[in-house]
Amino acid sequence: MFKKFAVNEFVGVSKARAKTKIGVALVLMAMANAQAETGVTDRKILLGQSAAFSGPAAQLGLQLNSGAKTYFDQVNAAGGVYGRKIEIIQKDDKYEADLAATNTKALIENDGVFALFGYVGTATSNAALPIFTQAKVPFFAPYTGAQSLREPLNRQIFNIRASYNDETEYLVDRLANLGTKNIAVFYQNDAYGKAGLAGVELAMKKRNLRIAEMATVERNSTDVSAAVAKLLPKRPDAIIQISTYAASSALVKEMHKAAYTGMFYNVSFVGSQALADALDKDGVGVVISQVVPFPWSPSIPVVAEYTKSMEKAGNKNLNFSSFEGYLAAKVFVEGLKRAGSGLTREKLVSALESINRSSYDAGGFDVSFSPSNHNGSKYVDMTVISKDKKFRN
């Protein structure tokens, strides 16, 4: 009786222990599955970026990435976010929409990125839109001000720059206050240019003004001969340019050759430093709206931080585009921190939505998101190219 009881007791205990071990294993597996997110491991967070790294718009992608990488490298050197290092897979789309769509699909389906970061352009971002929306992959800080990425609200998209409507309203308001009414528009014949044109038309209509003349240039082209022929006879007091630095600089130079003496106004997407470099002496007096603070104002805490980080990284080429990339990376990392160690895409989205002026100080650049607003900033300022390809504001 004693031995039989002991054996049964032993068998019962063994079964109980086995069940306990199985239960623990199942719980651990469930926890692992719950925490496992595409593009996230214990050691890294994988991001994807499709941008122009070659071609006529290359400086936009290169400069934006330079600032972002500087901040991410700084975070990684300090141990990462919850021990995870941030890595970016870059793909060159040459500022072409079809290639951007192909790159986006590859980044999500083949590379398995956690989120998409720092795309450059309206047409390129629009091409990626249905792909990342269907896959529910966060799309953070695209370098564009198009309304198509702002309205209607898309849960995956987070913008840290003001819209083209904000920028063109600012420029037209400045011109109107100067008494300038004879205003023409030179725009890129694609989604970006048309988005900027729509902003100008809205701002002009608000003031009962009409655009004096409109001329276009094709994306990735510098052939502005037709535009010059169309604009020059009107002799506008100012020309608002909605294009990239290559085409915009070409127009300024050709108009100057034709003895045009009016003003040129650009939106920030043009690429300020690249435009100044391309124009050289022709750039003096050219106006550019900006969506980030002046990168040479050390009194602004985040500018001082950016300057120090860039110099430490051996990059002395400070500019608006790299500063925007730095700011985008900084805000994105704040979202990662708020999402917690059990990082998922859904947790990141919710975490980013919790960032606002009262709970987060970027150091002189206000960013505010919410569940009903993913457009973090409406900041717009104006700069003018001065001698030696520098800027004043």
Give the pLDDT of residue 12: 52
Question: Which tokens in the block code for residue 167?
Answer: 């920028």
pLDDT on residue 10: 42
Question: What's residue 388's pLDDT?
Answer: 87
pLDDT exceeds 50 at position 1? no
Does pLDDT of 208 surpass 50?
Answer: yes
* Res 2 pLDDT > 50: no
Q: Is the pLDDT of residue 186 over 80?
A: yes
Residue 9 has pLDDT above 80, yes or no: no
Phi then psi dihedrals of residue 344, to 5 deg: -135, 165
Listed range (15-19, 164-168, 219-223) with the worst mean pLDDT: 15-19
Q: Please give the average per-residue pLDDT across 333-339, as a whole number.
A: 99
Of 249, 241, 244, 237, nearest to 283 (Cα)?
A: 249
pLDDT tens readout for residues 28-65: 444 444 456 999 999 999 999 999 999 999 999 999 99
Percent of the chain surpassing pLDDT 90: 90
DSSP string, 175-213: HHHTT---EEEEEESSHHHHHHHHHHHHHHHHTT---S-
The domains located in the chain, with CATH, are: 44-162+297-377 (3.40.50.2300), 164-290 (3.40.50.2300)
Look over the chain and give the mean of its residue pLDDT values, rounded to a whole number: 93
Please, what's the b/e burial string for 87-124 (b: 16 or more CB within 10 A of its CB; e: otherwise)?
bbbbbbbbbbbebbbbbbeebbeeeebbbbbbbbbbbb
Rounded to an integer, the average pLDDT of 275-292 is 97
Share of the chain above pLDDT 70, in %: 91
Q: Residue 194: count other Cβ atoms within 10 Å of its Cβ.
A: 18
| pLDDT tens per residue, range 110-124 | 999 999 999 999 999
- Tens of pLDDT, residue by residue over 234-258, are 999 999 999 999 999 999 999 999 9
Q: How confident is the model at residue 393 (pLDDT cuts 50, 70, 90)?
A: confident
Residue 29 structure tokens? 């597996």
Cα gap 58→125, rounded to integer Å: 16
**Packed helices 272-279 and 320-339: angle between N→C axes, nearest 10 degrees:** 170
Max Cα distance, the chain (Å):
115
Position 13 scores a pLDDT of 46
Q: Are 355 and 369 in contact (CB under 8 A)?
A: yes
Lowest mean pLDDT among 33-42, 79-88, 365-374: 33-42
Q: Report yes or no on whether pTM surpasses 0.85.
A: yes
Number of neighbours of residue 33 by Cβ within 10 angstroms: 8
Lowest mean pLDDT among 15-19, 94-98, 165-169, 306-310: 15-19
Q: Are 105 and 61 in contact (CB under 8 A)?
A: no
Residue 382 and residue 380: Cα distance in Å, rounded? 7
Sheet bearing 44-51, strands edge to edge: 85-92, 44-51, 115-117, 139-140, 157-158
For the segment 15-36, what is each residue's pLDDT rounded down to a tens digit?
A: 555 454 545 444 444 444 445 6
Cα angle 172, 207, 145 (rounded to 5 degrees) comes to 40
Give the type of residue at 57. Answer: A
Asked if pLDDT for residue 5 goes beyond 50, the answer is: no
